[in-house]
Amino acid sequence: MEQPWRVDDFRGPQGSRPVKAFLGTLSMHARVKVYAALEMLAQEGNRLRFPKSRPMGGGLFELRIPHPEGRFRIIYCYRPGRQILLLHAFVKRTEQTPPEDLRLARERKPC
């Protein structure tokens, strides 16, 4: 059995952790569902496919987490050495991913 991927969240210049902060705003029930999806991502890594994950272009991927409280999305990228970096998390309220959410993820993505 392969080792799980290492999942880490983006940290801003002053140590802010926006994905972790977003997760802290969720109800306990929603948080359990999101952490289960993150565990699945750690186990499956780049083998995770639609409908659980989908490519967003430019090396970005979207983890899709349906829940009665909202359609949670976490945008992430892969790093060398079986690492996954969570860049941005939000509740999707429209059919298409809002451009502002994609812009934020792209800005946080390491080159």
Vertex 44 angle, CA 31 and 13, to 5°: 60
pLDDT > 90? residue 100: yes
Averaged pLDDT for residues 43-70: 97
pLDDT > 70? residue 1: no
Q: Which CATH number fits domain 6-108: 3.20.20.70, 3.30.2310.20, 3.40.50.970, 3.40.630.30?
A: 3.30.2310.20
Count of Cβ atoms closer than 10 Å to residue 61 Cβ: 21
- Taken as a whole, the chain contains a residue count of 111
Percent of the chain with pLDDT over 70: 98
Count of Cβ atoms closer than 10 Å to residue 49 Cβ: 10
- Checking phi first, is residue 50 left (phi over 0); if not, alpha (psi -120 to 50) or beta? beta
pLDDT digits (tens, 9 = 90+) for 5-44: 999 999 999 999 999 999 999 999 999 999 999 999 999 9
Round the average pLDDT of the chain to a whole number and report it: 96
